[in-house]
Structure 1
């Protein structure tokens, strides 16, 4: 009895598996043509361009997004185009504001840390906004801390 049920189960399983095998849906030439045309629409052959091309608006968008470096006036508190954060661009030679404005962007400059730089403490010494701590008379040792010159007298 057990053996007969096992054979029946095996036959049912085999028939279900055989029926689950897919058969061709393109039995006629007309159905084959319809399938082929639909397939070509979604999967172009190698002879045609299967990649999307750049649109004219995309090309124009790239052309208008050129990077323009805008520099702040030398001695500005933040000038990220020239110096890293917490530093400022100071001219190397002493200049007045009118000389600086007339010179434009051709002035040689350097990045200084006004909170700790001995030669430009508190700002640009070359512009008159900072102090050169080493030029203070009557002190033995000097430092620049938090933008202020600190020194010990002789």
Structure 2
């Protein structure tokens, strides 16, 4: 047991070296105080990062030199990260340094990417502010979503896009593995934030992480769901699943229809089951799941019930 646990600890150490806190912008402190979570007073940026990592958040926001007694550290997650309209121009001497009291330093706490500076433009990439779209890239919900999208590439660029009349919601643009030319710029809204990492190192880190998770599951006997049930992915809801009985569940008969969460944390997106309510020719409420197999017992007009299936045409 001891050697295996030492392997887990060693691998976790390697992961911590691979993934580090990375600057992702200067944002309006007032917005952060209204929308972020887990606020506290801390001594410095590192203390803020440590606090948010310990509580399993994806982002930290730290504002320097605030009045004594005021909150200067907040945490946030993917999906609730500040709107792109909160991005501001920071220090003129250091692109990763934000202005005291009025600006918060936003940090992605777990990524393999490193900040390299900002660019005004990228040749071949066009931002349509009126429509809130990007030609030559993709729209994402926050910086970390861009890093995930570009995980297998050598570089990543994200850009905070301001809202407009026809695109009321602020958005972020993302460009992966850009190889063209760009012009250096001052970080802020409608500027490209550039990041690089070793794609090989990232892939190796992901493989090591899966090994650690798999071994930890085996050692602890962890299971997402009770015996004889499986954890099926909930479509449209990130990192969510529900426990179903594949032998009897009407909408996940025989397996998951939208992917299955494995004990290792890996998601198998392949459909392994069937939605019995979607059987051809079946009348609403006219099907059941028996021993992992969809069985029809009532058919629509002009369909015939035959061996638990509805067949078009009359017998």
Task: With a CA cutoff of 8 Å and minimum separation of 6, indicate the structure with the bigger relative contact order.
Answer: 2
TM score, norm. by length of structure 2? 0.21
The structure richer in strand per residue is 2
TM score, norm. by length of structure 1? 0.40
Q: Highest CA radius of gyration, 1 or 2? A: 1
